[in-house]
């Protein structure tokens, strides 16, 4: 009896010690690590986007007991690699980073976060994410399906040092009959300004002699992503109720009379753009505007706003101090009312997979990385990581404003611009729809298609074919989910 009692006590002590040393999965441990021994695999955009995950792996292990397995995948392979694992239901991935435009294809494989967010009273700060990003990137069919990683959007930039010159202001008003707008509010004003500020080397700009040719406006107009720059016009030109399709029928609206005017505006501005602009991608536009100082106005992602203090001086003799103007993208007046929209890019988001074996632990990792905190803010403030701001806690950060004097102008203006956010297309086949638009816009701008109407009629015809390919009623249902 005594021997049995001794053995029983020994087993109990051993069990207690094992529980303390080895931990318990997803049930809490005496060590305070609630997920001791759990492994969570995160698929991340390779390179700098993956850096914050690596940076926090040791801290997550120490605090939560979770071993973080970071799987880097190049952005051009993310969709295919993730879709292969998700469709095979392997459970190999717990958290995936993906482009929010893919949600129509991924929705059957990702776990809605509504119950988690409600259960812990939104400790992850879902409502801290700006409404424009929440609606365009994280809510699908009325459900909370993801957390924004990278708050991609677009802003209008201009040379405020030129706009503020009294001589230029006087000359502009004399020529166009209205005060030089700072910033321009409409696309017609942009045309006037671009024409006015396009000057040749040797002419005067802001009272000084130009050492290089200076151009009024430039788009990132290379085939592949030029459709973005068309949409910056298409959406406001389609006001007061812009849509890609008729929500009731899925009839494409991309070739409406308003859409045609938007494309004609785009070609008009080519007259005042640098030669070779039709081959410009990100680097070419950024370098011409920010490093060479030879472009007066342009639209781009938020990199220029964050790097406002790196703007090159004007290419003139004895240049004034460079000043970057930042504003929301221009709009269109309809019935005397101004309509402006800020396109919210379909950007990088994170979701938990439905086949994750440890969804609670995965959600704990998401909270660790993205809940409002000094930790999350540090990822955003470091430009090397490539995570753009997306939360009120980012835009209202006193720390950021103190650390980078002058950044408050960019933060305040983007916050204001995003009050008028408008989403990119998010339905199955979105890449194909956008690529059709891109190729025809590109061909029209290059002169291969004679009229804007012909170019957009081609787009509409192909969009109808794609609707039939995917199923008109199915696409109609997916399109409705974009706006829920």
Q: How many CB atoms lie within 10 A of CB 36?
A: 24
pLDDT(20) > 90: no
115-145: per-residue pLDDT in tens? 999 999 999 999 999 999 999 999 999 999 9
Domain 155-238+272-344 is in which class?
alpha beta
Q: For 71-124, how does the pLDDT look when each residue is reduced to its tens digit (9 = 90+)?
A: 999 988 999 999 999 999 999 999 999 999 999 899 999 999 999 999 999 999
Are the C-beta atoms of 10 and 2 separated by less than 8 Å?
A: no
State the DSSP string of 270-332: GGGS-TTGGG--HHHHHIIIIIS--BSEEEE-THHHHTGGGPPPPSBSSPPPP-EEEEPPPBE
pTM for this predicted structure: 0.90
Using the predicted structure, report yes or no on whether residue 26 has a pLDDT greater than 80. Answer: no
| 425: nearest Cα among 459, 454, 453, 451 | 459
pLDDT of 76: 85
pLDDT tier, 196 (very low <50, low <70, confident <90, very high otherwise): very high
Retrieve residue 447's tokens.
């002169």
- Which secondary-structure segment (H or E) carries 350? strand 348-352
Segment 426-451 mean pLDDT: 96
23-149+348-387 and 155-238+272-344: identical CATH topology: yes
Identify the residue with better confidence: 352 or 18: 352
Using an 8 Å Cβ cutoff, are 358 and 35 in contact? yes
Average pLDDT of 26-40? Answer: 76
Each residue's pLDDT tens digit, 470-481: 999 999 999 999
Residues 451-471 have a mean pLDDT of: 98
Question: Which residues are bridge partners to 449 per DSSP?
Answer: none
User: What's the CATH number of domain 23-149+348-387, 3.50.40.10, 3.40.190.10, 3.30.930.10, 3.10.20.740?
Assistant: 3.40.190.10
CA–CA dist 96, 286 (Å, integer): 30
Instruction: Give every CB contact of residue 235 below 8 A, 6+ residues apart in sequence.
Output: 242, 341, 343, 422
Confidence grade of residue 8 (pLDDT, cut at 50, 70, 90): very low
**Section 419-435 average pLDDT:** 93
Q: Which helix (H) or strand (E) holds 98?
A: strand 95-99
Query: Given pLDDT bands bounded at 50, 70 and 90, which one contains residue 29?
Result: low
Domain segments of the chain as ranges: 23-149+348-387, 155-238+272-344
Whether the pLDDT of residue 22 is over 50: the answer is: no
Question: Does residue 142 sit in helix, strand or coil?
Answer: coil
Mean pLDDT of the chain: 93
Provide mean pLDDT across the span 402-419.
Answer: 96
The reported pLDDT for the residue numbered 9 is 37
For the cut 90, the answer to whether the pLDDT of residue 330 exceeds it is: yes
Question: 136-178, pLDDT tens digit by residue?
Answer: 999 999 999 999 999 999 999 999 999 999 999 999 999 999 9
User: Quick one: pLDDT at residue 33?
Assistant: 87
What pLDDT, on the 0 to 100 scale, is given for residue 3? 37
Banded model confidence at residue 31, pLDDT cuts 50, 70, 90: low
pLDDT digits (tens, 9 = 90+) for 224-267: 999 999 999 999 999 999 999 999 999 999 999 999 999 999 99
């Amino acid at each position: 009896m005594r021997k049995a009692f001794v053995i029983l006590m020994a087993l109990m002590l051993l069990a207690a010690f094992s529980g303390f040393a080895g931990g318990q999965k997803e049930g809490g441990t005496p060590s305070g690590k609630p997920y001791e021994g759990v492994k969570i695999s995160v698929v991340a955009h390779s390179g700098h986007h993956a850096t914050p995950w690596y940076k926090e792996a040791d801290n997550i292990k120490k605090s939560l007991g979770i071993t973080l397995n970071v799987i880097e995948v190049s952005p051009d392979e993310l969709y295919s690699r993730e879709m292969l694992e998700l469709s095979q239901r392997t459970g190999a991935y717990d958290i995936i980073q993906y482009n929010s435009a893919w949600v129509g294809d991924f929705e059957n494989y990702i776990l809605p976060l509504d119950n988690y967010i409600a259960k812990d009273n939104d400790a992850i700060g879902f409502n801290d994410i700006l409404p424009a990003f929440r609606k365009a990137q994280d809510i699908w069919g009325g459900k909370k399906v993801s957390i924004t990683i990278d708050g991609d959007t677009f802003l209008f930039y201009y040379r405020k040092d030129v706009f503020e010159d009294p001589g230029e202001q006087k000359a502009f008003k004399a020529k166009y009959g209205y005060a030089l707008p700072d910033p321009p509010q409409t696309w017609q004003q942009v045309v006037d300004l671009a024409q006015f500020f396009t000057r040749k080397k040797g002419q005067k700009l802001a009272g000084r002699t130009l050492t290089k040719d200076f151009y009024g406006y430039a788009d990132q107009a290379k085939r592949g992503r030029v459709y973005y720059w068309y949409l910056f016009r298409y959406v406001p030109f389609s006001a007061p109720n812009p849509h890609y399709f008729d929500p009731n029928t899925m009839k494409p609206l991309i070739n409406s009379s308003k859409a045609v005017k938007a494309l004609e505006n785009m070609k008009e501005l080519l007259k005042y753009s640098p030669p070779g602009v039709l081959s410009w991608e990100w680097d070419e536009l950024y370098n011409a505007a920010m490093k060479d100082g030879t472009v007066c106005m342009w639209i781009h992602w938020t990199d220029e706003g964050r790097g406002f203090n790196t703007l090159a001086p004007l290419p003139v003799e004895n240049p004034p101090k460079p000043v970057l103007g930042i504003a929301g993208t221009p709009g269109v007046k309809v019935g005397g009312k101004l309509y402006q929209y800020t396109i919210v890019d379909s950007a990088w988001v994170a979701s938990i997979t439905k086949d994750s074996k440890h969804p609670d632990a995965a959600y704990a990792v998401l909270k660790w990385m993205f809940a409002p905190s000094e930790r999350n803010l540090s990822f955003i403030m470091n430009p090397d990581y490539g995570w753009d701001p997306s939360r009120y806690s980012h835009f209202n950060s006193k720390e950021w404003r103190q650390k980078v004097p002058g950044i408050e102008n960019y933060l305040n203006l983007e916050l204001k611009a995003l009050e008028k956010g408008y989403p990119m297309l998010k339905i199955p086949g979105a890449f194909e729809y956008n690529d059709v638009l891109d190729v025809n816009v590109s061909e029209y701008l290059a002169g291969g298609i004679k009229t804007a109407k012909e170019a957009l009629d081609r787009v509409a015809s192909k969009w109808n074919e794609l609707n039939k390919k995917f199923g008109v009623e199915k696409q109609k249902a997916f399109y409705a989910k974009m706006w829920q």
